[in-house]
Amino acid sequence: MTFKHVTVLLHEAVDLLDVKPDGIYVDATLGGGGHTGEILKQLSTGRLYSFDQDQTAIDYNADRYASEIAAGKLVLIHQNFRNLQTSLQDQGVTAVDGIVYDLGVSSVQFDEGDRGFSYNHDARLDMRMDQDQDLTAHEIVNQWPFNQLVRILTRYGEDRFGKAIARKIEQHREQAPIDTTFELVEVIKEAIPAPARRHGGHPAKRTFQALRIAVNDELGALEDSLTQALDLLALDGRAAVITFQSLEDRLVKQMFREKTSGPDLPPGLPVLPDQYQPSFRLLNRKPILPPAAERAANHRADSAKLRGIERVRLD
């Protein structure tokens, strides 16, 4: 089995974790195993727990890192990362020294057309990261009511033509189901005015993003998981999060801001009492972006942003 995937911001994210050789770490988004491999290089007696809800990723990395697994240095966990805390508790882990998130869809999910993630491959509408779940893009496109389609296309796709696309989907599915990615692409093209289709990238990009987020409840899962991750961090523990689209980045930025801001207090206090000091600090106020060479070599790096946070006191 091949698993072609170029990890974005690989060294920058792991450097941000400041890995301790004897520490306990989590890779919340195993994927092709890039961040997992880089963390493993820096561990001696430490242990790494790597999560993925995609069985393909688990199987691939079980072969790739068989010796590290056999040595007890790496544990692969086939779970959605929103189950982070309970899954780690099952392993006897209640605190970690660092956790990394590499969000979005891995290259293999885009490139293997039968998964239905890509508008460049013709396949049945699917888009499930976890192949065991019931909800698919086919169900959303063909069964969800018009108002719900408008909501996800405008909120998750940030698409100004969301209402027109939803209306065109509704019209087409009344005649026959929209079964494949290419069928959906043609519907989207019909809904978008010709001048708007000539710039701004592929006309189906935003719709496919919206459907993928809805199918996998990506934003809800991220908020749940990151809340648990920050609670799990030990003193001096760090979290590094790589995002690839604005909705994710805004969510991470807001959650980090809340954790690193003190409460509203009367102005003029000479010293902030210890009990009101934030428990976390930002590792970088502005996001770290991939260097120009990485962006030139890998177009998927164009939108990547890396943010980090560190626990500086225990509550």
Which runs of consecutive H residues, i.e. helices, occur in the chain?
A: 10-17, 34-42, 55-64, 66-70, 84-90, 107-111, 137-143, 146-155, 162-175, 181-191, 194-197, 205-216, 218-232, 246-260, 292-297
Sheet holding 24-27, edge to edge: 74-77, 47-51, 24-27, 96-102, 233-243, 305-311, 280-282
Q: Count the Cβ atoms, other than its own, within 10 Å of residue 46.
A: 18
Do the Cβ atoms of 96 and 81 come closer than 8 Å?
Answer: no
Do the Cβ atoms of 105 and 117 come closer than 8 Å?
Answer: yes
pLDDT tens, position by position, 107-135: 555 556 678 888 889 999 999 988 889 99
**Alpha-carbon gap, residue 310 to 230, rounded angstroms:** 9
What is the reported pLDDT for 197?
Answer: 84
**What's the average pLDDT block by block, 10 residues per block, for the chain (315 residues)?**
72 97 98 96 98 92 97 97 98 98 70 77 92 94 97 94 97 97 96 86 92 94 97 98 95 96 66 76 96 88 95 91
**Alpha-carbon gap, residue 70 to 68, rounded angstroms:** 5
**Alpha-carbon gap, residue 273 to 259, rounded angstroms:** 17
What is the reported pLDDT for 7?
Answer: 86
What is the reported pLDDT for 98?
Answer: 98
What is the reported pLDDT for 263?
Answer: 65
**Alpha-carbon gap, residue 188 to 165, rounded angstroms:** 6
State the DSSP H helix or E strand holding residue 47, giving kind and residue range, or none if neither: strand 47-51
Angle, helices 10-17 vs 34-42, to 10°: value is 40
Please state the pTM of the whole predicted model.
0.88
What is the reported pLDDT for 33?
Answer: 95
Q: Are strands 24-27 and 47-51 parallel, antiparallel or unpaired?
A: parallel
What is the reported pLDDT for 196?
Answer: 82
